[in-house]
Amino acid sequence: MALSKLSMNLIFASIVAVLGLAATVAFYNTVRSARMVVTTAPPRLPDSPRPPDVPGEQAVLQQMIDRSPGDPYVLIRMADYYYDSGQYEKAADFYQRSLKIRYQNPNVETDLAICFHYLGQNDKSLETLDRVLAYNPGFLQARFNKGVVLIEGKKDLKGGIAIWEDLLRANPGYPHRAELEQRIEQLKSSSQ
């Protein structure tokens, strides 16, 4: 009888563990796909960070990192957590750690560049964006963000506008074309 009770407890614990793991994986896949939309959709950088959505998310991510320290995707998720909570120095550290494992990830490097921008390291941000554009010249978010860093970080209005105009010229179907054209016109008229 004790053996069957122990067997039942082990089976129950296994089921709970599998369901918990499946829920965690589904949650993080959902969070990452939502983040990808947020990363590529807005035609400007966010004015302020948004708070993390899930209480205890950082602790769960740290446990996953402790179990799989070489998993670049878990490191990216932790970086995204810090990025979304406005902790750009920590986010940059985790993005860089993931890039040591999985080199040349344009999404990660572009987010890293924006961390540098928010930390006031605009030259480092531009170097990172230029590296992305060297191996992936059509990566629209890096092109857009380079314009932002030039305009907001380096106060190079002409350079930033030129990057954005080039982006629009090379990509007639750019999804945020109207908003970006309007922003360019506002910047041009404000500089006169």
The answer to whether residues 175 and 155 touch, using CB atoms and an 8 Å cutoff, is no
Lowest mean pLDDT among 19-28, 69-78, 150-159, 182-191: 19-28
In eight-state DSSP terms, residue 140 is H
pTM: 0.71
3-state secondary structure of 53: coil
Based on the structure, what is the number of domains in the chain? 1
What is the spatial distance between Cα 148 and Cα 146, in angstroms, rounded to a whole number? Answer: 5
- Counting Cα atoms < 13 Å in the Cβ hemisphere of 65 gives 16
Q: What is the pLDDT of residues 102-153, one digit of tens each?
A: 989 999 999 999 999 999 999 999 999 999 999 999 999 999 999 999 999 9
Largest CA distance in the chain: 87
- Per the listing, tokens 């878990």 go with 74
Phi, psi of 103, deg, nearest 5: -75, 150
pLDDT digits (tens, 9 = 90+) for 80-108: 999 999 999 999 999 999 999 998 999 99
Has residue 154 got a pLDDT over 80? yes
CATH number of residue 63's parent domain: 1.25.40.10
How far CA 46 is from CA of 2, 13, 73, 86, 145, in Å, comes to 59, 43, 23, 10, 11
**Cα-based distances in Å from 124 to 54, 92, 114, 115:** 31, 12, 10, 10
Domain limits at 167? 2-190
